[in-house]
Amino acid sequence: MSGLRKQKEYDWKDSNLALFGSDTEKNVKKESAQTETAWIGAGEKPGMKIWRIVKFKVTKWPEENYGSFYNGDSYIILRTKKENEELVHDVHFWIGKKSTADEYGTAAYKTVELDTFLDDKPVQHREVEGHESDLFKSYFSEMTLLDGGAESGFKHVGPKEYTPRLFLVRGNKKNVTLTNIELVKGNLTNDDCFIIDLGLELFQWNGIDANKEEKWKAGEICRDWRSKRGGKPRHIVLDDCTVEKIEELEELEGILPDGENSFKKQAGSEPSEKVLFSLSDRTGQLQCNEIARGKEVKRSLLKEDDVYIFDSGRHCYVYVGKAASIDERRNAMTYAHNYLMRTEHPLLPVTVINGGQKSVDFENAF
């Protein structure tokens, strides 16, 4: 592939998702899928199911924790809804930035297994922490990203023994993301809202330049947490805060340790140029070639006897033609993943579209 740039450094850069798209993954047959007890009842009615990968196994994620994800884990999310009296599915595998190669590799091929179990009807998606697609975020009015793995969290401790935590609040009235970041002064900013959770005290930091939606949502979250803890915590709102005057806030004296900014905020960068690749073995050897870029990228270039990788600049789509060969199908996601890892935007959401499946977002991306 031409025009690729040097790969950036990421926590999970050591893997090319070799299991995903390989013979190991694609040889999971229907019979094998039916022996996976985790899939019992999956997709039979509208709703959502979430599983976490634990030591190569698919384990049920408690419904009360839906919307909460640990960055040291990988998950599989199945959303089922009814359209025109038929059940349609979207299946996502979500990769925490500190998830191990074994965990997200297993999540990837187990996602394919679930797709097989549901007769190849679902639309498959890859999601990376902090770079989730709009579709994925729409599932949750509140999404919480926690540091570590599930084994280190959700412990039922009393509020007095609660480990102090700092959360960045970002989003709007439709959905908001709470990101668990290091509790140090350097991580507070003027243009965001934060919650300092001490168990029996909830400090709501409203940066002077934070938007009203984030302030409203931060307050709602604090009130919800207070209610869930039997009304015991105090909710202290700190309005119009600035990092320049943080030392003047007596309420936070002795609570926030010194420390430099350790959390890099996502930059609202402009989308890169569109590019389209074909993945074909018609020459007898599997080859991935760029066929169009920029304004030359058109929907009409996609044929049903090949696989295509379409980078829209904001989302990466893998289109699998109805007549694509087995090798083309098997390697599609691996090629897309490896392509992205050599770009300036390696963590884009990835969606696999099979020929015949409908996707408004995919069509509009052209």
pLDDT reported for residue 22 = 47
| Chain center to CA of 167 | 18
Domains of the chain: 21-140 (3.40.20.10), 165-248 (3.40.20.10), 275-365 (3.40.20.10)
What are the tens digits of pLDDT across the range 108-126? Answer: 889 988 988 998 889 999 9
- Spatial separation of the C-alpha atoms in residues 177 and 327, rounded to whole Å: 39
Tell me if the pTM is above 0.75.
Answer: yes
pLDDT reported for residue 356 = 81
What are the tens digits of pLDDT across the range 50-99? Answer: 999 998 899 999 999 999 999 999 999 999 999 888 999 999 999 998 88
- Spatial separation of the C-alpha atoms in residues 309 and 317, rounded to whole Å: 6
For 86-115, give one letter per residue: b (16+ CB within 10 A) or e. eebbbbbbbbbbbbbeebbbbbbbbbbbbb
Spatial neighbors of 157 by CB under 8 A, at least 6 apart, are none
Percent of the chain with pLDDT over 70: 85
- Spatial separation of the C-alpha atoms in residues 29 and 113, rounded to whole Å: 8
